[in-house]
């Protein structure tokens, strides 16, 4: 099968048609690539398939999508294309040619050396040499030094209680958390403007300190409540809009601290643990938990 048969729109033997189809591909491809960021922006803006909720940790992208989230997602896609263009090698032809030349030179040198060795072997006549047998010499055996035994590093404790300080993350992206207060209520806000709980609101107040070396994004994404049946409860973003010091998207610079509040709508009869994941979206650090048993009344 010819190459033309494997390309949509082309046919073997139709030179004129194949040229026209090739020109259309050549000019249409840049426009299709240019439309990808706009398409991604539209998908995030309309929250198709919950994409905006999954990417809410990115700067400018919020739960539910929207115009600002769509524009931010399109911008990230364009930056990704630019980064890929910069990262691609400019030209590796010279390197390939140099490798071929080096290989040829090495082969030539090896051949010359082998020929010279063969000539010297044929020319020199073997000479009988009398070899004196040496008396065996006693060799002192050194006593090996004892090998130091590595001390195992104790595993990090991932379970904590209210009032205990602990650090989540690794490397330059670490935050020290301290849950300072846990309370419950049936309504947040005022009598005129507020939000009623479907079950019971759990309000968790905590202090956060950036102990890493770079600025970190603070949001409600790392926090979930998990009950005794391993069911997960997400933060109630609507209720957080009626509470003071709610943890929304903002920056926390190295060495600085902030007090924030998160709100969950849960079954009042359940037993829960607060799960806190690392702040970095691509971090592989462990998730920590805080036992809230006895704190929710």
Query: Over the stretch 200-237, which tens digit does the pLDDT of each residue have?
Result: 999 999 999 999 999 999 999 999 999 999 999 999 99
Average pLDDT value for residue range 279-287: 83
Write down the mean pLDDT value for the chain: 79
- Work out the percent of the chain whose per-residue pLDDT is above 90: 39
Q: How far apart are CA 222 and CA 201, in angstroms?
A: 19
Give kind and range of the element (H or E) at residue 90.
none
Average pLDDT value for residue range 20-26: 78
Which of the 8 DSSP states describes residue 164? -
**Cα atoms in the 13 Å half-sphere on the side-chain side of 259:** 6
Average pLDDT value for residue range 117-138: 51
Least confident of 64-78, 180-194, 212-226, 245-259: 64-78
Nearest to 242 by CA among 225, 261, 224: 261
Residue 245 backbone zone (phi > 0: left; psi -120 to 50: alpha; other: beta): left
Please check the confidence at residue 187 and state whether its pLDDT lies above 70: yes
pTM for the complete prediction?
0.49
Q: How far apart are CA 235 and CA 154, in angstroms?
A: 33
- CATH number (2.60.40.10, 3.40.50.620, 3.20.20.150, 2.60.40.1240) of 159-291 reads 2.60.40.1240
Name the residue ranges covered by the structural domains of the chain.
4-87, 159-291
Neighbour order of strands in the sheet with 272-276: 159-161, 288-291, 272-276, 223-227, 232-233
Please check the confidence at residue 271 and state whether its pLDDT lies above 90: yes
Least confident of 106-115, 191-200, 232-241: 106-115
Query: Over the stretch 6-21, which tens digit does the pLDDT of each residue have?
Result: 666 667 667 877 788 7
């Amino acid at each position: 099968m010819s190459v033309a048969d494997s390309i949509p729109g082309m046919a073997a033997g139709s030179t004129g048609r194949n040229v026209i189809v090739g020109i259309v591909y050549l000019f249409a491809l840049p426009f299709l690539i240019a439309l990808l960021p706009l398409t991604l922006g539209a998908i995030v803006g309309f929250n198709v398939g919950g994409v905006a909720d999954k990417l809410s940790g990115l700067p400018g992208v919020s739960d539910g999508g929207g115009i600002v989230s769509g524009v931010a997602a399109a911008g990230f896609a364009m930056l990704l294309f630019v980064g890929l263009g910069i990262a691609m090698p400019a030209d590796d032809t010279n390197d390939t040619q140099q490798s071929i030349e080096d290989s040829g030179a090495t082969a030539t040198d090896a051949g010359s050396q082998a020929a010279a060795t063969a000539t010297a072997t044929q020319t020199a006549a073997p000479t009988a040499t009398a070899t004196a047998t040496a008396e065996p010499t006693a060799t002192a055996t050194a006593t090996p030094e004892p090998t130091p035994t590595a001390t195992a590093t104790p595993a990090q404790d991932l379970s904590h209680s209210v009032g205990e300080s602990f650090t989540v993350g690794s490397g330059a992206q670490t935050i020290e958390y301290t849950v300072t207060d846990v309370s419950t209520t049936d309504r947040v806000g005022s009598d005129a403007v507020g939000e009623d709980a479907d079950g019971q609101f759990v309000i968790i107040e905590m202090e956060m300190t950036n102990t890493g070396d770079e600025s970190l994004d603070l949001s409600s994404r790392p926090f979930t409540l998990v009950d005794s049946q391993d069911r997960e409860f997400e933060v109630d973003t609507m209720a957080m809009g009626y509470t003071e010091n709610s943890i929304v998207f903002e920056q926390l610079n190295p060495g600085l601290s902030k007090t924030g509040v998160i709100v969950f709508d849960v079954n009042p009869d359940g037993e829960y643990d607060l799960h806190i994941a690392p702040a970095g979206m691509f971090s592989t650090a462990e998730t920590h938990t805080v036992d809230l048993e006895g704190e929710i009344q």
